[in-house]
Amino acid sequence: MKILMVYPECPDTFWSMKHIITLLGKKASLPPLGLMTVSALLPEEFEKRLIDLNTTELTDEDILWADFVFISAMIAQRASSINVIKRCRELGVKTVAGGPLFTSLHDQFEEVDHFILNEGEVTIPMFLEDLKKGSLKRIYASDFKPDLENTPVPDFSLINPGDYYVMPVQTSRGCPFDCDFCDIVNLNGRIPRLKTPEQIIKELQTIHNLDWKHSVFFVDDNFLGNKTKTKELLKEIIKWRKKVNFKPLFYTEISINASDDDELLELMKQAGFFMVFVGIETPSTESLQECNKVQNQNRDLIKSIRKFYNYGMEVTGGFIIGFDSDDETIFKRQFDFIQEAGVSKAMIEILQALPGTKLFKRLEAEGRLLNNSSGVCLDSTTNFISKMDKEILVDGYKKLIKKAYSPKYYFERLTNFLKYYEPTRKIPVHKKIIPSIIKVYIVFKHFKKGRLEFLKFMLNTILTRPKCLSAALDNSVLYIHFSKVFN
């Protein structure tokens, strides 16, 4: 049996980093962990290939080679997925689709031959059993949430590591919180399910064996899903890092209540975490209550953010505009908050109702739902009738984005970040010089505007926070991407 796995193209967004990936000698940010895991769940005797459309062109010959084309995608990859499905249909090759896009919206893809929905550990064996019998159904689905202790190591042999800048690892699925706009609970449940520390060390060792030199992204829905288990895992990672002298650093997604636990933060620091993505959403108390973001309520959000900085972890923040309780003051309030908190990489979105979420169901019941979410960060539209006038919402959002990612304010909040940042990377001065010169050259060559702000920022960093030079330069290089996406 020949299986071609295809990962559709990702649009140019906050996360894609398309405008700097090539400067770094790479083709894409992350390989498709979902399809790599699917491959490991398929029988060894199957012939398997993977084509990531973010790195490689898909030819008709590739499609015709396969007995089945497996497609896994997120909602943001919808357009590319439709194109792949259409090509397979025209060439007479059967398609099998899964992942978040199809789990949520499979009824909108009539041309797909078979769906393997929900979690592959459960539904792939169902598909394989019927494949043996020669009696395949169109849809394989299950609400059962499997124990991840039997999940195999993803099949890294399918990719060329040199194409990517980051390697992914998943330690758990699910999140204990129930924010009404988030589809994680609908897809993965509220009770976090975890792999064992032994499984994670095995995956990290596999990455280490690739001679991997860059960072590793722990792609969990919430790395703090089970605090006790997280601490146990971190202790094992610390021991393993020392044993094999593993150099790459880690980042992950985590809820802001992690900032309340100094022991946890110290363990993350020792384990090599240098950045976290946190869903901050809004400085509005009313909006946090509205969306049931309980973990962000009744706290000093800026103080919590700075706690991560103190432990050597930069915060990449998610922010949302367009809650029912938002009024026209929210644009300035969001901007002022982001600047003061020093969240340089601020992903600011207009609220969208994702399929299956409590927000989607509420708006549908109220007759306010317009269409399905695009799933694209920074899409200046909303898929429901907002309480705020639509023109005011969209215009205010566009102005907020443009202002926040102007050179003046980007480097201003970088400066605010560095005031509280205590880097954990100990890089000898002589090893900083050449990489720093290269990064300065890259920034100057590719900045269309902002060179003066960059020079002022770098001079200030050298004079006042020289130990933060590496972080300052890394974030300056990232601005090449942001300046093109946001302006």
Which spans in 405-449 are helix H?
407-420, 429-446
Q: Is the pLDDT of residue 38 over 80?
A: yes
Closest CA to 441 of 408, 476, 482, 487: 476
**193-194 and 250-253 as β-strands: parallel, antiparallel, unpaired?**
unpaired
Q: Counting runs of H as helices and runs of E as strands, what totals does the chain give?
A: 19, 14
Cβ neighbors of 246 (< 8 A, separation 6 or more) are 204, 208, 240, 272
Q: What is the pLDDT of residues 123-135, one digit of tens each?
A: 999 999 999 999 9
How far CA 194 is from CA of 205, 223, 263, in Å, comes to 18, 10, 20
Q: What is the pLDDT of residues 379-437, one digit of tens each?
A: 678 899 999 999 999 999 999 999 999 999 999 999 999 999 999 876 555 455 667 76
Architecture of domain 165-351: Alpha-Beta Barrel (3.20)
Summary mean pLDDT of the chain: 93
Residue extents of the structural domains in the chain = 2-140, 165-351, 417-486
Average pLDDT over residues 141-155: 96
State the DSSP code for 23.
G
User: Could you give the CA distance from residue 307 to residue 325 in angstroms, rounded to a whole number?
Assistant: 29
Which pair of tokens denotes residue 271? 């384990």
Q: Which fold has domain 2-140?
A: Rossmann fold (3.40.50)
User: Could you give the CA distance from residue 1 to residue 47 in angstroms, rounded to a whole number?
Assistant: 6
Q: Are 179 and 278 in contact (CB under 8 A)?
A: no
Q: Collapsing DSSP states into helix, strand and coil, what is residue 5?
A: strand
pLDDT top residue among 186 and 117: 117
Q: Where are the beta strands (DSSP E) in 326-380?
A: 346-350
User: Could you give the CA distance from residue 362 to residue 347 in angstroms, rounded to a whole number?
Assistant: 25
267: pLDDT confidence band, cut at 50, 70 and 90?
very high
Average pLDDT over residues 203-224: 97
Average pLDDT over residues 275-300: 97
Q: Is the pLDDT of residue 193 over 70?
A: yes
